[in-house]
Amino acid sequence: MQILLILNDPPYGSERTYNGLRIALALAKSDPAVSVTVFLMADAVVAAKSGQKTPDGYYNVERMLKGVLAGKGQVLLCGTCMDARGLTDAEILSGARRSTMAELATLTASAEKVLVF
């Protein structure tokens, strides 16, 4: 089953991105046949910035995204949203990649479930 999660909110200050990643990780662990793609848009693209340092005991979305990638999932970022926020390809975590609206449209059409946070 192909599942697409589209995240829009910033990584911190709201728990929407955190909760979207929680369900992405749970889905990836639930069944090896489940394919999870996380598409980061708007302020959510900053979630993929490498080198995040959060206080002890506080969630870290970079580590959560690495968990999605380790579970054979995909992490894609809206390129236009990256450019608008001055985020370069060199600044994002290894394994994540720049994407496009055309690719998001294709993923949406082929996904069996689409969740938006």
Residue 88: what residue type?
Answer: T
Structural domain tally of the chain? 1
Domain that holds residue 75: 2-116
CA–CA dist 84, 73 (Å, integer): 26
CATH number for the domain harbouring residue 85 = 3.40.1260.10
pLDDT digits (tens, 9 = 90+) for 78-113: 999 999 999 999 999 999 999 999 999 999 999 999
pLDDT digits (tens, 9 = 90+) for 24-58: 999 999 888 999 999 999 999 999 999 999 999 89
